[in-house]
Amino acid sequence: MVTIAFKKQCRSYNFTAAGRQMLATLVRVPGIDGHFLEVETITDEDQVHAALDDVRAVLAELGLDEGDLTTELYTDAVAARRA
């Protein structure tokens, strides 16, 4: 098993959009180029699709679209850079 350690530098902002409390976190991970934006909200299970639509609307307002999204984990990105 390989252990990967890294620091994740974050700056978080709370706000309301589409009637939901949101948390946007600007993330920088040394060793990975660029900055990342995480946008989160808490919702009931039966509202997940609507909540995701609201999060995507926030991203669209910021000029981001589906092509800017990733499911890659920071751990995997750091491991790839170190390989």
**In sequence order, what DSSP letters do the residues of 52-64 get, joined into one string?**
HHHHHHHHHHTT-
Number of domains in the chain: 1
Q: What pTM does this model have? A: 0.87
Domain that holds residue 32: 9-82
- Three-state DSSP class for 77? helix
Q: What are 27-44's pLDDT values in tens digits?
A: 999 989 999 999 999 999
Residue pair 32/9 in contact (Cβ under 8 Å)? The answer is: no
Helix runs in 1-83, H state only: 48-61, 74-82
Is 70 within a domain?
Answer: yes
Give every CB contact of residue 28 below 8 A, 6+ residues apart in sequence. 8, 9, 10, 35, 36
Q: What is the pLDDT of residues 9-27, one digit of tens each?
A: 999 999 999 999 999 999 9
Distance separating the N- and C-terminal Cα atoms of the chain: 15
2 in a structural domain: no
